[in-house]
Chain A
Amino acid sequence: QQQVKQSPQSLIVQKGGIPIINCAYENTAFDYFPWYQQFPGKGPALLIAIRPDVSEKKEGRFTISFNKSAKQFSLHIMDSQPGDSATYFCAASRGTGFQKLVFGTGTRLLVSP
């Protein structure tokens, strides 16, 4: 059972483009939505996270848009660079009970020079 659905599986953009990665969730109890970035041979690392009381959060070139009614959230990368080429995972968890991060299936992003 995939609790967080992520798309697309892979994405190629040119340098300076704005890749958008989308995620949808089912469990309305989720109240924490992080994005993780993973480079080849490395573990995932937190990129940016949002809670459902805001509709948008920006950190540098990275923006999360959150639509609570649609149960969707997305990652936008402004002015993308070749160094942004990585796999991106959305995730979700809830603050009550045991914290268990549920991950999407990942999006492999390639930013061409």
Chain B
Amino acid sequence: NAGVTQTPKFRVLKTGQSMTLLCAQDMNHEYMYWYRQDPGMGLRLIHYSVGEGTTAKGEVPDGYNVSRLKKQNFLLGLESAAPSQTSVYFCASSTGLNTEAFFGQGTRLTVV
């Protein structure tokens, strides 16, 4: 039982490049989330999904897109990376309302 797995763990991008972060969970959770973590700002919600085929915007969605084609996967895309997107990205999943969220190990992204 791997829980929540994020790929890749580290990445360096040049400004303007694109990339996709993959999140996979094996707990059959309905809800999935993408957060970014920046020093002094805690975790901020980028996008989330309440089920396969659904996505919604969080607090800081600009510059990101997501897709949830399969229940177990939640993809986060950066179409044109900017230095302001340098951050640690966390994916999480949960069974539903007001339940424990399980986090992945994070992806450290640097945009130069």
Contact = CB atoms under 8 A, between A and B. Distances in A.
Interface of A: 6, 9, 31-32, 34, 41-46, 49, 51, 89, 93-96, 98-106
B42 A9 contact: no
Q: Which 5 A/B pairs are nearest by Cβ-Cβ distance?
A: A43-B103, A32-B98, A105-B42, A103-B42, A103-B43
A98 B4 CA distance: 20
Given A42-B106, A46-B101, 15 more contacts: A6-B42, A43-B92, A43-B106, A44-B43, A44-B90, A44-B103, A46-B100, A94-B98, A95-B97, A96-B97, A98-B48, A100-B48, A100-B58, A101-B43, A101-B101
B72 interface: no
Interface of B: 4, 31, 33, 35, 40-45, 48, 50, 56, 58, 90, 92, 94, 96-101, 103-106
Taking chain A's interface residues, is the majority helix, strand, or loop, or is none over half, making it mixed?
A: loop
Given A9-B40, A44-B103, A101 B45 contact: yes
B6 to A, nearest CB: 8
Nearest to A89: B42
B111 to A, nearest CB: 20
A6 B43 CA distance: 12
B98 A99 contact: yes
A34 B100 contact: yes
27 contacts: A6-B42, A9-B40, A34-B101, A42-B106, A43-B103, A43-B104, A43-B106, A44-B43, A46-B100, A46-B101, A51-B98, A89-B42, A93-B97, A95-B98, A98-B48, A98-B56, A99-B97, A100-B45, A100-B48, A101-B33, A101-B43, A101-B45, A102-B45, A103-B35, A103-B43, A105-B40, A105-B42
A102 B101 CA distance: 12
Contact of B41 (A31, A43, A100, A105): A105
A51 B101 CA distance: 16
